[in-house]
A and B are shown apart, each in its own frame.
Chain A
Amino acid sequence: MPMRISDSKLASLYAAFERQQQSSAGFKLGREQALEILSMVGDRSGWSATKVLAELKKPGLSQDAQVALAAKGLSKSEKKDLEAILDQGTVKLDPGAKAFLEAVVGRTGGGGGGGGGVNGLSVTGDQKDGLTGVTKAGATIEAINITTAPGGRLHMDDTMVIGKADANGKFSMAKLTGDQAMREGDLIRMRARYADGTTSDWMTVKAKGIEAKDSRNAVVALFRIGLADTGSGKVSVENINASRQVSEPGAKLQFTNLRTNEKTQVTITDLGGFPDGFKLNGKAGDSFSVAATDGTNNSAFTTAVGNVTVPGGNPGGTDLIPDPALHRDELNADGTPKFGKKSYTGPLFIDGAKAGDVQQGQIGNCYFPAAMAALAQHHPDAVQNMIKDNGDGTYTVTFKQQDWATGGRYKDVQIKVDGDLYTRSWGGPLYGHSSNSSDPKKMELWFPLIEKAYAQWKGSYDSIGNGGHVSDVFEDCLGVSTSSMGLSYSSLDSVWSRITKNVDEKKAIGAGTYGEDQEAKYTNTGVYADHAYSVLGYEKAANGERYVLMRNPWGESEPAGNGPNDGVFKLKLQDFTKLYQTMYFVS
Chain B
Amino acid sequence: MAKPPEPIEDVLPRATWIVDAEVTEVLKTGSAPPKAEAAPGATSTGQKTAAQTVKLKVKRVLKGQDVAELVVEKPEAGYALKAGNHGPFLIDSTKTILGRYGPDSYSFERIQKALAAS
Using a CB–CB cutoff of 8 Å, the interface residues on chain A facing chain B are: 360-367, 370, 424, 426, 428, 465-470, 484, 512-513, 515-517, 519-520, 522-524, 526, 528-532, 554, 556-557, 565, 581-582
Contact = CB atoms under 8 A, between A and B. Distances in A.
A367 B42 contact: yes
30 contacts: A362-B3, A364-B46, A366-B2, A367-B44, A467-B36, A467-B42, A467-B46, A469-B39, A470-B43, A512-B41, A512-B43, A513-B43, A515-B45, A516-B35, A516-B47, A519-B49, A519-B78, A520-B49, A523-B79, A524-B85, A528-B2, A528-B79, A530-B1, A530-B45, A532-B2, A554-B4, A554-B5, A557-B4, A557-B5, A582-B41
Contacts of A565: 107
A362 B2 CA distance: 9
Nearest to A527: B104
A360 B43 CA distance: 14
Contacts of B42: 367, 467-469, 512
Contacts of A363: 3
A363 B37 CA distance: 16
Interface in B23-74: 35-39, 41-47, 49
Interface of B, secondary structure class, is: loop
Given A367-B42, A467-B43, A528 B7 contact: no
Contacts, number: 117
A366 B80 contact: no
B75 interface: no
Interface string B1-26: 11111110100000000000000000
Contacts of A530: 1-2, 43-47, 78
A512 B85 CA distance: 23
B7 A523 contact: no
A529 B44 contact: no
B44 A364 contact: yes
Contact of B43 (A465, A520, A531, A556): A531
A256 B59 CA distance: 66
- Count chain B CB atoms within 10 A of each CB in A362, A470, A517, A582 and give the residue with the most: A362
Contacts of B36: 466-467
A14 B7 CA distance: 82
A367 B41 CA distance: 11
A212 B1 CA distance: 60
Contact of B81 (A366, A520, A582): A520
Contacts of B1: 364, 529-530
Contacts of A364: 1-3, 44-46
Given A524-B87, A528-B2, A529-B78, A469 B104 contact: no
B73 to A, nearest CB: 16
Given A469-B41, A512-B43, 9 more contacts: A366-B43, A424-B7, A466-B37, A466-B44, A469-B39, A524-B85, A530-B47, A565-B107, A582-B41
Interface residues of B, number: 34
Contacts of B78: 519, 528-530
- Count chain A CB atoms within 10 A of each CB in B4, B101, B102 and give the residue with the most: B4
A523 B44 contact: no
Interface in B72-93: 78-82, 85-87
Given A428-B7, A523-B104, A524-B85, A529 B46 contact: no
- Count chain A CB atoms within 10 A of each CB in B41, B44, B47 and give the residue with the most: B44
Contacts of B43: 366-367, 370, 467-470, 512-513, 515, 530-532
Contacts of A466: 36-38, 44-46
- Count chain A CB atoms within 10 A of each CB in B41, B45, B80 and give the residue with the most: B41
A519 B2 contact: no
Given A366-B2, A424-B7, A516-B35, A531 B82 contact: no
B31 to A, nearest CB: 14
Contacts of A424: 7
A582 B36 CA distance: 19
Contacts of B46: 364, 466-467, 530
Q: Please provide the 4 A-B residue pairs with the shortest distance between their CB atoms, ordered closest to farther.
A: A520-B80, A467-B45, A531-B2, A366-B2
A364 B42 CA distance: 11
Contacts of B49: 517, 519-520
A410 B19 CA distance: 54
Contacts of A512: 41-43
Contacts of A470: 43
A459 to B, nearest CB: 16
Nearest to A525: B104
A10 B92 CA distance: 99
Contacts of A523: 79-82, 85, 101-104
